[in-house]
Amino acid sequence: MLQQTQVDRVLPKYGEWLRKYPSLEALAAARAGEVNRTWRPLGYNARPQRLHAIAREVVARYDGRLPSDEKTLRSFKGIGAYTAGAVQSFAFGRRAPIVDTNVARVLFRVFVGRGNRNEPAVKKRLWSLSAILLPRRDVFDFNQALMDLGAMVCVARRPRCPICPMSPICRAYPFTPDQEEAS
């Protein structure tokens, strides 16, 4: 729900969604039209259809329990590397990397410093870095902290370098916009 959608818009819909579909079984049993109507104001209408399809597949093939391993998660249509990492890390507490826009920005600035972080080779490196950096414990907190750092301190424009805990090791410090070819 939050991907490219503001928190303020998502919050009421998130509550309504969970009230209507408190389990994968409830979502799987719902009619497609109703699921789409519940989601509609959020846009990106392929998403409720995919969630609905995933819920039905999980009920049919996995007894209603979402698998926790990356390979099976990524076998569901609509679950890519980011979502698989988020589900593993946040739902199951597993050691899985997550690279969303905020995390990619932080890792790029701290460990690369300048250039274009959207180049495929750079993206691949950011995923590798994210995996290497994972602590043995408290992965949930680590991933959440990286996301928060990107959302609140190392923001796209005018990052708050003077208060940033990463500044002593950051290759982009002190940040200037001309360091990045894309954001």
Check if the beta carbon of residue 145 is closer than 8 Å to that of residue 96.
Answer: no
Q: Pinpoint the alpha helices (H) of 21-66.
A: 24-29, 32-39, 46-62
Q: Residue from 42, 51, 129, 166 that binds ligand SF4 (CB under 6 A)?
A: 166
Q: Is 10 in the site for ligand SF4 (CB under 6 A)?
A: no
Which of 79/98 has CB closer to ligand SF4?
A: 98
Q: Determine if 164 is a binding residue for ligand SF4 (CB under 6 A).
A: yes
- Using the contact rule CB under 6 A, the part of the chain among 49-57, 68-76, 119-127, 162-170 near ligand SF4 is 162-170
* Residue 109 sits in the site that holds ligand SF4 (CB under 6 A): yes
Nearest approach in angstroms of CB 114 to ligand SF4 is 11
Q: What CA–CA distance (Å, rounded) separates 80 from 70?
A: 9
Yes or no: say if 87 and 149 are a contact pair by the CB < 8 Å rule: no
Of 45 and 183, CB closest to ligand SF4:
183
**Residue 97 binds ligand SF4 (CB under 6 A):** no
Q: How far apart are CA 59 and CA 65, in angstroms?
A: 7
> Which tokens sit at 164?
């940033």
Residues 131-160 that bind ligand SF4 (CB under 6 A): 153-154, 159-160
Question: Which residue stretches of the chain are H helix?
Answer: 7-20, 24-29, 32-39, 46-62, 70-75, 81-86, 92, 101-107, 120-133, 139-152
Nearest to ligand SF4 of 72, 179 (CB atom): 179
The C-alpha R_g of the chain, in whole angstroms, comes to 18
Least distance from ligand SF4 to the Cβ atom of residue 151, Å: 12
Query: Any contact of residue 54 with ligand SF4 (CB under 6 A)?
Result: no
Interface segment toward ligand SF4; rule CB under 6 A; list 32-40, 67-75, 92-100, 103-111: 103-111
Is position 106 an interface residue for ligand SF4 (rule: CB under 6 A)?
A: yes
Interhelix angle 46-62/32-39, nearest 10 degrees = 130
